[in-house]
Amino acid sequence: MNPVKTLNELKAIREQLKSGNKKVVFTNGCFDLIHAGHVDYLSKAKEMGDVLIVGLNSDSSVKRIKGSKRPILKETERKFILSNLKPVDYIVIFDEDTPEKLIKELVPDILVKGADWKLDDIVGKDVVLANGGEVKTIKFVSDQSTTKIIEEIVKRYKD
């Protein structure tokens, strides 16, 4: 089964899951240079419900958010890696800067972001709460980030 779906495909799947009383968790991100912190985060997100949907920023979206030198890994590679991680049930690519449209269309039961986000700043919070859902944050156990990995590589190979 290919976990990468279009928004329309996921909307149909979401309806089936809702009728089966399955709890849908949604998170999003760039997931560039996937590391242990990402895997830990996705595992914890999946534990919050029955199905985990990941909104993955497109290459152009990552470039706008992170700068012209990103992403390091192209969308096809990031999508492939995420597709093969055990906690991830479905992936949907989005080209916007935020996943607001996805959240409005899918209306997940639980919206999850990293604890570096203030609850008031989480995009889609209003939609999820208005529909009886929950918004949660996950504390990072790893002090790892893609930016830190890139900085370490540059530092080691500068000379």
* 133 is a domain residue: yes
Q: Which of the 8 DSSP states describes residue 49?
A: S
pLDDT of residue 148: 85
Sites in the chain below the pLDDT cut of 50: none
* 78 Cβ contact list (under 8 Å, min separation 6): 30, 31, 32, 34, 56, 71
pLDDT of residue 151: 87
Q: Is-above-0.85 flag for pTM?
A: yes
* 62 is a domain residue: yes
* 101 is a domain residue: yes
* 121 is a domain residue: yes
pLDDT of residue 96: 97
pLDDT of residue 52: 98
* 1 is a domain residue: no
Please choose, from the candidates 139, 79, 85, 146, the residue with its C-alpha nearest in 3D space to the C-alpha of residue 112. 139
* 135 is a domain residue: yes
Q: Which two tokens stand for residue 24?
A: 């849908």
Read off the CATH number of the domain in which 35 is found.
3.40.50.620
SS (H, E, C) 75-124: HHHHHHHHHCCCCCCEEEEECCCCCHHHHHHHCCCEEEEECCCCHHHCCC
Domain count, the chain: 1
Position of tokens 């203030």?
118
Angstrom distances, CA of residue 122 to CA of 11, 15, 103, 114, 130: 21, 24, 11, 10, 14
* 53 is a domain residue: yes
pLDDT of residue 7: 98
* 2 is a domain residue: no
- Host domain of residue 71: 7-157
| Alpha carbon distance 115, 137 (integer Å) | 5
pLDDT of residue 91: 98
Q: Which two tokens stand for residue 54?
A: 């990941």
Q: What is the pLDDT of residues 100-111, one digit of tens each?
A: 999 999 999 999
Q: What is the pLDDT of residues 73-99, one digit of tens each?
A: 999 999 999 999 999 999 999 999 999
